[in-house]
Structure 1
Amino acid sequence: MRKILLLCGLSFFTVATAYAGEVSVQWQQPEKFTDIRPANDTRKAYRERVLKKFDGFFAELANKLPEGYKWEVTVTDLDLAGDVDYFAGGAGNPLRVVKDIYSPAIKFSYVVRDKHGEEVASAEEKLRDMGFMQTLNSVNNSDEFRYERQMLQDWFSKELQPKVEQYAQALPKVSQ
């Protein structure tokens, strides 16, 4: 039994290390983005927190790319779900109000390169999730920027991941 558990652990480790792509994210003039306005923070501190969080989202997705692949992303606009209402929280206490009419959106371009530097995929993307409030996997999810994260995950699994897999399958098999 112990050998079986050890073999299962090793096979899991092997699968986990087969996927470890890298990402570099460039933020093009984030101070001019459509909406990364804070409710209860300074503009600069909030913007830095948003960019750091989104860097993490892109890194999570890059981990699903094959080992040695590099994903270069340039974000040109971001519109967070909801809108800051300066009157909703009372005097001096603005709140971000999330309603169907304030859908999340992001614009970016990207290039994915394999471990030899060959271009696998590239495009300019304009994502907007108009049904973001109906499609979230977990109703009780309270993670900050959960709608934007879900929008990126959906796009990645439906658009980019299949392109990368198709490219990898088309490569000539190297005999071992």
Structure 2
Amino acid sequence: MRRLALAALAGLALAGPAVAEVGVRYVAPERFTDAEDRWGASGRSLRTTLAEMTRIFQELGSRRLGPDESLDVTVLDIDLAGYERPGFGTPGGLRVVQDSTPPRIRFAYALRRGRRVVASGEDTATDINFMLTANPRFATGGLYYERAVLRDWFARRFPGPAGRG
């Protein structure tokens, strides 16, 4: 009897509420405009950038999407905030971020509720005022400017489960 009760509790724990799923894939990432440090070993690798971008999409999706929703994202191009500047006494150079060098992430997306596609399209997340709206001093993790433009894109596209009636 006790085993049956434990098995039932374990089943309930595993069944829990459905969580929104976000799938991310990248098309020809080696051709992206600017997604890695090309000047030396001290900067961000393409693999690191893609892993962090995947984590950002999944984190934002889990906050904004309903439990019965899933989002498929196909990233077509990444242009990180700023530009690389070789030299400056560092082994791999330096990334210079100015208000004229906003991040730009181009992607296609499909939002599903159950098995039905309810929204899809191709979009570019960017913000020419990115330096006014994102403060890296209070950010955790890397790609804080990119995270900020994607956070704003998610907020505009998906008001979140609490905002649905």
Q: TM-score, normalised by structure 1?
A: 0.74
- Render the CA deviation track for 1:23-70: whole Å, top value 9, x for unaligned: 111100011011013154389x71000000011001112212111311
Counterpart position of 1:114 = 113
Q: Is residue 40–residue 95 contact of structure 1 (8 Å, CA) maintained in 2?
A: no
Residues 144-159 of structure 1 aligned to structure 2 (within 5 Å): 144-159=142-157
Counterpart position of 2:72 = 72
Offset, 1:19: 7.1
List, as ranges, runs of 4+ consecutive aligned residues in structure 1 with deviation greater than 6 Å. Answer: none
Counterpart position of 1:174 = none
Q: Is residue 19–residue 63 contact of structure 1 (8 Å, CA) maintained in 2?
A: no
Q: Is residue 41–residue 92 contact of structure 2 (8 Å, CA) maintained in 1?
A: no
Q: TM-score, normalised by structure 2?
A: 0.78
Offset, 1:91: 6.4
Does 2:87 match 1:99? Answer: no
Report the Cα distance in structure 1 between the residues aligned to 2:156 and 2:17, rounded to whole angstroms: 21
Amino acid at match of 1:110: Y
Offset, 1:137: 4.9
Report the Cα distance in structure 1 between the residues aligned to 2:18 and 2:153, rounded to whole angstroms: 18
The farther-off stretch of 17-26 and 53-62 is 17-26
By relative contact order (CA 8 Å, sep 6+), the higher-ranking structure is 2
Q: Is residue 42–residue 91 contact of structure 2 (8 Å, CA) maintained in 1?
A: no
| Structure 1 pair 91–46 and aligned structure 2 pair: CA distance change class (3 A) | closer
- Render the CA deviation track for 1:3-25: whole Å, top value 9, x for unaligned: xxxxxxxxxxxxxx767200111
Counterpart position of 2:130 = 132
Q: Is residue 41–residue 91 contact of structure 2 (8 Å, CA) maintained in 1?
A: no
Counterpart position of 1:20 = 19
Query: How much is the aligned-residue C-alpha RMSD, in angstroms?
Result: 2.6
Offset, 1:147: 0.4
Report the Cα distance in structure 2 between the residues aligned to 1:69 and 1:111, rounded to whole angstroms: 10
Aligned residues between the structures: 148
Structure 2, unpaired ranges of 5+: 1-15
SS of the equivalent of 2:139 reads coil
Structure 1, unpaired ranges of 5+: 1-16, 170-176
Amino acid at match of 1:107: R
Counterpart position of 1:58 = 57
